[in-house]
Structure 1
Amino acid sequence: MTALAYTVAAATGSGGIVGLVLGLFGGGGSILAVPLLVYVVGIASPHVAIGTSAVAVAASALGNLVPHARGGRVKWRCAGVFAFAGVLGSLLGATAAKAMDGERLLALFGLVMIGVGLAMSRRRGAVGDSAVRLTWESAGRLLPMLIGIGFAVGLFSGFFGIGGGFLIVPGLVLATGIPLAYAIGTSLVGVVSFGAATAASYALSGLVDWTLAFFFVAGGLAGGWAGAALGARLAARKQALGLAFAGLVVVVGIFIVAKGFGAFFA
């Protein structure tokens, strides 16, 4: 196999893994995109890996948003405010990340993966008020939380080039009190917006490999369909599978931190 053929196959396969996880669990897969692009696909620059990952994250989230929107599980006004504030945070976070040493940024990303894996292992409840709407009457209560939490999550998402769904979902629940199913659907608007803003920032700096992004997204779409079909068959085992995936994220995070430990003291 030639180097080009391997790179294409690795990018497509890596995208398939991320898409499979997204389709199976409804989120979390994007946290694997950067380490897959660096250690499997072979992108030498962590910054290019993050920029390319952001393109893939935005595209995958857009594909996953459609069924949630059709099912009426998106609170569009809340999503709009949250996304607008988050995009501002994403642009600021991406600017800060590009100014940081790539190896140190990757090591920090490993720490984030450990935290995300531990957070994902916690079981989330499904209670909430599905009738919540952003209106003139509720604006005084909802707007400050939506803007504040949206900006903070966007800042984090832009800095690490990830979708941030694992933070957006609980953030929306905290800000609005909507049920988990609505928070997941609504969060995808933020993931698309944050990912697109981060991707645009990196693209303007020439830090996106568009060819690899294309194959990564193509693999992600195929993996997403497979994950959705598999999820329907394994519905009874999703909690156990989710815990296993959370453990995998922690292990990968530990590997990245151990590999780049010296970057913290460089």
Structure 2
Amino acid sequence: MIPLADILTLGSGTLIGLTLGLIGGGGSILAVPLLVYVVGVTSPHVAIGTSAIAVAANALVGVALHARARSVKWPCALVFAGSGVIGAFLGARAGKAVGGEFLLFLFGLLMIAVGVTMLLRKGAGGDHDVRLNRVSAPALLPSLTGYGLGVGLLSGFFGIGGGFLIVPGLINATNMPIIFAVGSSLVSVAAFGLATASSYALAGLVDWHMAALLLAGGVVGALLGTTLARRLAAEKALLARLFAVIVMLVGLYVSVRGLAALL
């Protein structure tokens, strides 16, 4: 008999991968609530460290797929990711110093904020030809490093890949179209996840068996999500809005649970 916790972990991984494949992000922000409230992980810190491993691995697969489609702005992506990794290490150190219930409360508030950002985000426009070079560096470098550092801090603190934070950050920093922002964001998602995961792993806060199950489920979910995305391409904006509402509702639940535990 397969333990129920393993089945729930595989299912959670599948849902995370499905979401990533279907609408290009958001699966990672659901990982911690799924591990805590569905799988039953008692330590929020272990949930954060474990989910970061799976998020990073799934993002690397996504990078490969987008690179083949030539939808990654590599210089912009690498600068953003490099500054973000510094922020992620600092954020992870700060997150481990915060009490678990208070961390969940803050995480819920972040989910609500991310959901609002998703609802307000525009899906078209931008400069297709934007690139980081000697001419554009004076204008782009400060924005890319600033946004990267800030998003990395949040990613490391809450143990999320940060895709829905990175995409608006890249768009605001460079005015690149969303398709390139999504592809380029996965470079940072992978880098942030690895930075956060290594920090938590060194502290003994990763359940490696659970991480493997999350990854296995995530691969299946990503394949299903990618297939559905092709068939439902015209409905992706609607799906993204519906998912934004789900993120906000889950965030409200998580923050209320965290606040109740604190009182």
Q: TM-score, normalised to structure 2's length?
A: 0.96
Supply the distance in 1 between the matched residues of 2:125 and 2:228 (Cα, whole angstroms): 26
Unaligned runs of 5+ in 2: none
Q: 1:114-263 counterparts in 2 under 5 A? A: 114-263=112-261
Q: 1:50 maps to what in 2? A: 48
From 14, 20, 23, the counterpart of 2:21: 23
Structure 1 pair 55–246 and aligned structure 2 pair: CA distance change class (3 A)? same
Residue 120 of structure 2 aligns to a residue whose secondary structure is coil
Amino acid in the other structure paired with 2:245 = G
Moved more, 102-111 or 246-255: 246-255
Q: 1:79-90 counterparts in 2 under 5 A? A: 79-90=77-88
Residue 70 of structure 2 aligns to a residue whose secondary structure is coil
Deviation at 1:263, TM superposition (A): 4.7
Residue 84 of structure 1 aligns to a residue whose secondary structure is helix
Q: 2:89 maps to what in 1? A: 91
Supply the distance in 2 between the matched residues of 1:224 and 1:12 (Cα, whole angstroms): 13
Deviation at 1:123, TM superposition (A): 4.4
Q: 1:100 maps to what in 2? A: 98
Moved more, 72-81 or 41-50: 72-81
Is contact 1:48-1:207 (8 Å) kept?
Answer: yes
User: Alignment length, in residue pairs?
Assistant: 263
- Give every structure 1 segment of 4 or more consecutive aligned residues whose post-TM-superposition deviation is greater than 6 Å: none
Is contact 1:96-1:159 (8 Å) kept?
Answer: yes
Residue 169 of structure 2 aligns to a residue whose secondary structure is helix
Q: Deviations over 1:202-226 (max 9, x none)?
A: 0000000010000001100100100
Moved more, 198-207 or 68-77: 68-77
Is contact 1:107-1:263 (8 Å) kept?
Answer: no
Unaligned runs of 5+ in 1: none
Q: TM-score, normalised to structure 1's length?
A: 0.95
Q: 1:110 maps to what in 2? A: 108
Is contact 2:108-2:252 (8 Å) kept?
Answer: yes
Residue 127 of structure 2 aligns to a residue whose secondary structure is coil
Q: 2:69 maps to what in 1? A: 71
Supply the distance in 2 between the matched residues of 1:91 and 1:50 (Cα, whole angstroms): 14
